[in-house]
Structure 1
């Protein structure tokens, strides 16, 4: 097997949500996370609250500089980890060093939001172009069952931290909810989301399901199931269904009036539309779009289609 060229850099990886990404792994070769989520694609492990033997900032920046020369046609530099990247002890210095060499590329971090209540973490994340925060649950019972955090992590502090972070952050804030059947899909959990999510100011809220082998025995939801769940969220929320699982049975026939009504209630992506609409409905949609009865808004690499974005919380990128 050919040895990896870089220890901390991987990709580029195409992403439908963020564009082509060059990744930075702050915990190469070992899972180090303060969660042990049921759906994690990494092996089950005891949650920890620190990264041991982290790579140096110099090593990361040297590798990143070389990788950017090798792969100039990317959209975003993504900070992540085999675990939780905000546990990396030199994150603020690293972000500053990346800013000095990024040369127009956007920067993104994928975090579980467990440390977002800390002022120093907020100040660091505020320097990034896009921050994606996981928020699988907003009730303590669900949170403990699904995300299985280390004892020091507090859900209420996370929610308040996200709300406070939004007041200082001018970039693109994306929330991600990984749906697990029977845990955070229950009506009481959706009702709790509908009380909390409108107060957080997310630019986009991605809901998805398991699409890689998980650490624990859980089953993915179909696209049709995700769509039914999406319909239960507050219609003012910028919900985006992020799923590789498509269902033929989801396709249906929609009149012009039904298409407009559907998009009034919930902006959809083209991926959603092509999954939900049959061939004739797609033709009707295209005619409505050409007639400017349907509007578009882009958030990151995702374009939403709706009818009146002035009344909906989907912001321009």
Structure 2
């Protein structure tokens, strides 16, 4: 079974060539409500694996200089792959300027070997959907051995030790982790992290269980609940209907002071007159553009030193 897929044009990460470390079946330590894969029992080890030479040979066939990132993922959790550290070393030998990225649910950071393996990657995306143990168990349905307080401790430690590009992803499920109390707890943890970007998302594929996401408007409102110094980005465009609201110049500056926006956000939130006011502020250098990962944000010039930096 093929382990390589893509390349896929990812808005957040660029041209991505994927490596599925569990191509034959779902092997995960979570059984998330929102997962696009069918429900399955959680596991803490991979019983079905692909050997490293097979992966590397397939990667060589598809890798070229147009690929921005080689993305380690899986039908499940990629860090359960038992030879992850050795695989990363072999990929590093052939990747040239292409960067390595892993998409992980963060739970195995409690394993020192996994923790150290991820330090070798160019980019890491950690998921963190909840801080409260009860909410965490409802959304992510983890293996019995996993507790969110241990994950949070290691996520904080990893963010301090890691030298590459670090991203956090929070996926909101309606009625579970979208409450002000849970967002407050997430905010308190996020303020302790050194990260490049925090992506807020919601359900945008058919989920494993009968749950629903929240709207773009609700995501935007949730983003304003987080501290203004955090590099928040709304990653999901589910149900993103244009708001077309009118903003004065002062309101535009106040909005960007609270939360940097991409032009996609602007196109959804602003009417045409407001966009023209925005362009005037850009020409006056009161608003500048800042690249973070593969995304371009609009921020206040006076906030350049405190926004969007690790």
Does the TM-score normalized on the shorter chain lie above 0.5? yes
Residues 184-219 of structure 1 deviation map (CA, whole Å, 9 limit, x = unaligned): 001110111121110022211101111110000112
Unaligned ranges ≥5, structure 2 = none
Distance 2:226 2:169 in 1: 14
1:235 counterpart = 2:228: yes
Distance 1:15 1:195 in 2: 29
Residues 262-302 of structure 1 deviation map (CA, whole Å, 9 limit, x = unaligned): 11111111111111111111111112112211122211101
Distance 2:218 2:239 in 1: 10
Is contact 1:224-1:249 (8 Å) kept?
A: no
1:75 counterpart = 2:84: no
Is contact 1:76-1:105 (8 Å) kept?
A: yes
Structure 1 segments of 4+ aligned residues over 4 angstroms from their partners: none
Distance 2:226 2:160 in 1: 23
SS in 2 for 1:212: coil
Residues 244-272 of structure 1 deviation map (CA, whole Å, 9 limit, x = unaligned): 22433522111111111111111111111
Pairing 1:214-225 to 2, within 5 Å after superposition: 214-225=207-218
Distance 1:29 1:88 in 2: 13
Pairing 1:71-220 to 2, within 5 Å after superposition: 72-220=65-213
Distance 2:69 2:90 in 1: 15
CA positional deviation for 1:304 = 1.4
1:36 counterpart = 2:21: no
Query: Number of residues paired by the alignment?
Result: 309
CA positional deviation for 1:310 = 4.2
Distance 1:81 1:11 in 2: 13
Q: Which residue is 2:287 aligned to?
A: 294
1:13 counterpart = 2:3: no
1:25 counterpart = 2:15: no
Is contact 2:242-2:267 (8 Å) kept?
A: no
- Aligned Cα root-mean-square deviation (Å): 1.3
SS in 1 for 2:167: strand
Q: Which residue is 1:3 aligned to?
A: none
SS in 2 for 1:152: coil
Q: Which residue is 1:312 aligned to?
A: 306
